[in-house]
Chains A and B, each alone.
Chain A
Amino acid sequence: MATQMTDGHRRFLQVLMSHGIMEGSVARTLHRDCCEIHKVYYAHDKLDDFINVVNIHLQPFFMQIRKGMSEDDGKTYYALVNLAETEITKMASDYTENELELFRKTVSTMDAIIVSENGFASSTNILNLADQLKIKKMKKKEAEQVLQNLVQDKWLSERDGEYTLHTRCIMEMEQYILSNYQDLVRKCNICHSLAIQSQVCETCGIGMHLPCAGKYFKAQMEPHCPHCNEFWPHEIPEINRPDSQLPSSAPRERRGTSSSGTRRR
């Protein structure tokens, strides 16, 4: 396998960089197109090898094309991430110090994203945080604009007035979050990656990504926690269906108020 960078690799990198994050099938199409345009050797199932070539050359610069999974749909995504555990460098150039402070608080304060079980922070809570900023309090309108920018830039994603971390953000900042908030965050018991949205066992406290839970408990009538074997109290997301986050047709008994994060329509 060649390890030289070709224009095909460079074009792929440029396009990926302009998107920030790209879904798996889009990346595969791009791979094919880049190879075709620049007459580079192409094998449809060798995207990861192709990417490895790029990564070898990115390594000295602490960058990497990383493959990750969306917590919402379980699909594969590719993103160009910064490996160095420095400040949030990419964001830092777009947002003021005050806005970054709001973002950090949205992520990590009590009631905020990392701490909440379902991985979402309500806009009400965030606006309250805006009022408590150290540098300069932010008015509601301004905070709303910042939130909108954060969503557009794919640091946050929004659903029904609540905010969580975008897949891109998780992929970019996983290391940073894991090391800086290690006591607060959860890792998925199945895939061992950072879990922002998760289902949590109410007995022993282990958590799982929703798509990971979907795969692990697939077609089990009586799901049990893999760690403590207690009955798993949450709706199991069905995978392999376009509306995979809808509750399954057979209602399950729930204990207490669980915040599983499955979508309700």
Chain B
Amino acid sequence: MEEDYALTQTQTASQVQRNLERFSGAQVDQKVSELVQFLLIKDQKKIPIRRADILKNVIKDYKEVYCEIINRASRTLQQVFGLQLVEIDTKHHIYILVSNLPRLDGENLKQDDRTAKLGLLTVILSFIYMKGNAAKESDVWEMLKKLQVEPGYLEYSRMPNTDLAEFQFQWGLRATKETSKMQILHFVAKIQSKDPTAWTSQYNEAAAAEALSHHTSAPGDAGGASRGARRRKQSAWSTSPTGATPRRLVNQQPLGAGASAHAEPSIQGSSGTLPLPS
């Protein structure tokens, strides 16, 4: 979009200052407030937020100070709500809100129809991961049926190196932001009553991903705080009844999901039919 030029972060400090002076403080405050509400509402419904929508519905005539508005909105979301505005698609500029707060188990969050779907989603993500990060379409369809998955959780693409057109599912951007391979692995381990290390290659891969994410985690990310404690030492994870399962997807607020007590039965109910590797 041509408009994007005006929106990039490359305005000089004096340009920003001049632009801000054209609009009164109160007007900009109002826009920040509207944007915060807009982001919260869209994210509550799990709709990824497109920059184009932000511009059209909120910013409108204030495009020149778009950066200032979105920065302040982002700061507010962190300070007041403990939510971080994350760009999951840098090409098309799509955002989601992710909680900064430490992941918890059995959190007292809302349960509704979505919880059942998210339970199944966790199962699917597990399936894909256990299949070596990509699963054949035909295999996944057996489980998917008529599940409608919001954009971002799963990525559907053409498999390379096949003669006939065949597609595969992989983790989407939102999934990588909201959960982790280790959490999914622990979840699989739990429903199969095994130790996560039983799947060596998946375990190693997950551990490596954990190590990497702790090095690059944002300052606000509480998960990075326990750097040393949670790495390859399986004891901290597999024996802990609370830390073991990848409940974040199910319980984390941005997904508006449900308490463990309710999510588990639906997952365990379907695990019997899952062709998971042993």
CB distance from A66 to the nearest CB of B (A): 16
The residues in A between 14 and 66 inclusive whose CB is less than 8 angstroms from any CB of B are: 14-15, 17-20, 26, 29-30, 33, 37, 54, 57-58, 60-63
Q: Cβ of A11 and Cβ of B101 under 8 Å apart?
A: yes
Question: Is there a chain A Cβ closer than 8 Å to B122's Cβ?
Answer: no
Chain B residues with CB under 8 Å of A58's CB are 80
* Residues from chain B with Cβ under 8 Å of A7 in the complex: 82, 101, 222
Residues of A within 8 A of B82 (CB): 7, 10-11, 13-14
Q: Which of A5, A10, A29, A33 contacts B101 (CB 8 A)?
A: A10
Segment at the A interface, from B7-15, B32-40, B87-95: B32-40
B37 x A89 contact (CB < 8 A):
yes
Is A93's CB under 8 angstroms from B253's CB? no
* Interface flag for B81 (CB, 8 Å): yes
Inter-chain CA distance A63–B40, complex, in Å, is 11
In the complex, are the beta carbons of A93 and B41 less than 8 A apart? yes
Q: In the assembly, what is the distance between CA of A54 and CA of B80, in Å?
A: 8
Contact for A5 among B45, B79, B107, CB less than 8 A: B79
Residues of B within 8 A of A62 (CB): 33, 37
Sorting the interface of chain B by its residue count into under 10, 10 to 19, 20 to 34 or 35 or more gives 20 to 34
With A14-B101, A37-B104 known to touch, is A61 a contact of B83 (CB < 8 Å)?
no
> Tally of A-B residue pairs with Cβ under 8 A?
68
CA distance A217 to B262 in the complex (A): 42
For the complex, give the distance between the alpha carbons of A133 and B61 in Å.
33
A89 touching B41 by the CB < 8 A rule?
A: yes
Provide the bound-state CA to CA distance between A14 and B101, in Å: 10
A30 pairs with B108, CB closer than 8 A: yes
Complex Cα gap A124–B256 (Å) = 33
In the complex the two chains form, is B79's CB within 8 Å of A17's CB? no
Chain B 21-37 interface mask (CB, 8 Å, partner A; 1/0): 00000000100110011
A sample of 28 inter-chain contacts (CB < 8 A) reads A7-B82, A10-B80, A10-B82, A10-B100, A11-B82, A14-B81, A14-B83, A15-B108, A17-B40, A17-B81, A17-B253, A18-B109, A18-B110, A19-B110, A20-B110, A29-B108, A30-B108, A37-B104, A60-B29, A60-B33, A61-B76, A62-B37, A63-B37, A82-B37, A93-B42, A93-B45, A94-B45, A152-B112
Residue numbers of B with Cβ under 8 A of A are 29, 32-33, 36-37, 40-42, 44-45, 47, 76, 79-83, 99-101, 104, 107-110, 112-113, 222, 253, 256
Interface contacts beyond A10-B80, A58-B80, A60-B29: sample of 9 additional A-B pairs, CB < 8 Å, sorted by A: A10-B101, A11-B101, A14-B253, A33-B108, A61-B32, A61-B36, A61-B76, A62-B33, A93-B45
